[in-house]
A and B are shown apart, each in its own frame.
Chain A
Amino acid sequence: MLLVPCPNCGPMNAADLSYNGESHRRPDPKTCTPEEWRTYLYLRENPSGWLLENWYCSSGCRRHFKIERHTLTGELRAPVLPGRKPGATQGDMK
């Protein structure tokens, strides 16, 4: 089981977190076109490589954070809490 470094709690078993998928920007709902909105809803880069994604520390600190994960090797780097700059927390914990 993957160890995911929560910026608050430190390394956590992935099963203690919720995975919220690829991180993407929400368009302005007032002005966006259907294409833009549905791109946000459905289309995914889904790379085999580094991906910035959302995790929720559901049984620990209950913070949402972003982390870069390599989708082939499972490496993780630089978790960030929303509103914080990347690099403000510790890095690879394995």
Chain B
Amino acid sequence: MVEITHLDASPDTRVPKASVRAADGTAAAATLGLNFGSAEQRGETLVVRIRPDEWYLLGDGAPAMAAGLDLSGFASTVDISHSRTAVRITGDCAADTLSKLGSADFSDHMTPNGAALGNGIAGVTCDIVRDDQRGVRSYLLLLDGSFITYFLGALHDAASEF
């Protein structure tokens, strides 16, 4: 079973998203913390260290958290709510579905809950956060919004066998 949801399908459900870029040693980097490739829910915000010097703040708390950051030193934020679109794929076969379209290893040992990675899925570069929902395997995919029509088609097609 897999369930695919485009979270940004309507303005009401759109997930606020911010990107924070911060060099090592800056206050923002210290505040956000985390290891590269991992994610953590903090209140209303899912914080993801998606690259060594870049964090995503996702969820209703994101704008406030971004605005509250100390950007001294070499740090900056960009609102990416409209650039990246969010798709959630949940269910026991979620990893099998992704494995049809992407080459990353989505097994528990290589991509445990809370892991974040970049991988091409059906030819579209996605940032992927393994973010299980109440114990059910789930992935949050962030991709360039312009691909969404194509992307959902490919995802549903891949999931159709499950």
Q: Do A and B bind each other?
A: yes
The answer on a CB contact under 8 Å between A15 and B52 is no
- Main secondary structure on chain A at its contact with chain B? loop
Question: What 1/0 flags go to B114-154 for Cβ under 8 Å of A?
Answer: 00011110000100000000000000000000000000000
Q: Which residues of B contact A61 (CB under 8 A)?
A: 36, 51-52, 118
**Interface pair A16/B52, CB less than 8 Å apart:** no
Considering the chains assembled together, what is the distance between the CA atoms of A19 and B54 in angstroms?
23
Give 18 A-B contacts (CB < 8 Å), ordered by A residue: A8-B51, A8-B52, A9-B37, A9-B118, A15-B103, A15-B120, A16-B118, A16-B120, A58-B125, A59-B119, A59-B120, A60-B117, A60-B118, A61-B36, A61-B51, A61-B118, A62-B51, A63-B52
| B residues whose Cβ falls under 8 Å from a Cβ of A | 36-37, 51-52, 103, 117-120, 125
Min distance, Cβ A82 to any Cβ of chain B, angstroms: 13
Q: Please give 5 more A-B residue pairs, beta carbons under 8 A apart, in addition to A13-B103, A15-B120.
A: A8-B36, A8-B51, A9-B118, A16-B119, A61-B118
Q: How many residues of A contact B (CB 8 A)?
A: 11
CA distance A16 to B51 in the complex (A): 15
Q: How far is the CB of B146 from chain A (nearest CB, A)?
A: 17
CB nearest to A58 among chain B residues: B125
In order of increasing CB-CB distance, the 5 nearest A-B pairs are: A59-B118, A60-B118, A59-B125, A61-B51, A13-B103
Q: How many A-B residue pairs have CB under 8 A?
A: 26
Distance from A62 Cβ to chain B, minimum over Cβ atoms (Å): 6
Name B126's closest neighbour in chain A (CB-CB): A59
Complex: chain B residue closest to A8, CB-CB: B52
A residues near B (Cβ < 8 Å) are: 8-9, 13, 15-16, 58-63
- Which residues in B have their C-beta under 8 angstroms from that of A58? 125
Bound-complex Cα distance A60 to B105 (A): 14
- For A8, the chain B residues whose CB sits under 8 A away are 36, 51-52
Q: Provide the bound-state CA to CA distance between A16 and B120, in Å.
A: 7
**A13 vs B125: C-alpha distance when bound (angstroms):** 14
